[in-house]
Amino acid sequence: MKIILSILALGLFYATVESKESPPKVQVYSRNPGNFGEKNVLICHVSGFHPPDISIQLLKNGKEIPNSNQTDLAFEQGWQFNLTKSVFFTPAAEEEYSCRVRHLKNLKTYTWEADM
Ligand SMILES: *[C@@H]1O[C@H](CO)[C@@H](O)[C@H](O)[C@H]1NC(C)=O
Ligand SMILES: *[C@@H]1O[C@H](CO)[C@@H](O)[C@H](O)[C@H]1NC(C)=O
C-alpha cells in the first residue's frame, strides 16, 4: 500500500512539473533602426520559458557571431525566465541575421527583419 502511494505521489510530482513547461517567446531586433552599413547592436530577447534549459545563438548566415553578451538568467513571476543576448554588428543587405534558440529539444531560428 505504501509503495502504491509513493508511486502515485511521484506521478503527481512529475505531472505538476510538466504542466509548468512553457515554450519561449522570442524577439529579434536591433538597438537602432536597421540601416545597412551602420554600426548597430543585434538583440535577441527570450522570455516566458520554463524550465531554464535553454541556449541562444546569434547568427550571421547561419554561423555564430563571436563576442556576444548574454544577461544572467532572470526570474520572472510564475516559474518563468527571460534572457537577452546581444552583439555588435554592421548589417549588410546580402547577409542574413538570425537568433537560434534551443529550449529543451526544440530548436527554432528567428530571422531579423531590417525594417523593424
Ligand atoms: C525579466 O525578468 C526580470 C527579473 O524578474 C524582470 O524584472 C523583467 O521585467 C523581465 N523582463 C521581461 C521583458 O519580461
Ligand atoms: C559586451 O560586454 C562588454 C563588457 O561589459 C561591453 O564592453 C560591450 O559593450 C558589450 N557588448 C554589447 C553588444 O553590448
| 41-82 pLDDT, tens digit each | 999 999 999 999 999 999 999 999 999 999 998 877 777 899
Domains of the chain and any CATH numbers:
21-111 (2.60.40.10)
- Starting from the CA of residue 30, give the closest ligand: 2
Question: How remote is the CA of residue 7 from the centroid of ligand 1, in Å?
Answer: 37
* The model's pTM: 0.81
| Torsional class of 31: left (φ above 0), alpha (ψ -120 to 50), beta (otherwise) | alpha
Question: How remote is the CA of residue 13 from the centroid of ligand 2, in Å?
Answer: 41
For residue 106, is pLDDT > 70? Answer: yes
pLDDT, tens digit (0-9, with 9 covering 90-100), for 5-21: 555 555 555 555 555 78
- Protein residue whose Cα sits closest to atom 7 of ligand 2: 69
Rounded mean pLDDT of 30-42? 96
Which among 46, 80, 82, 84 is the best mutation to test ligand 1's pocket, defined by most ligand atoms within 8 Å of the CB? Answer: 82
C-alpha cell at 22: 512553457
101 strand-pairing partners = 56, 108
Predicted local confidence at residue 20, as pLDDT: 76
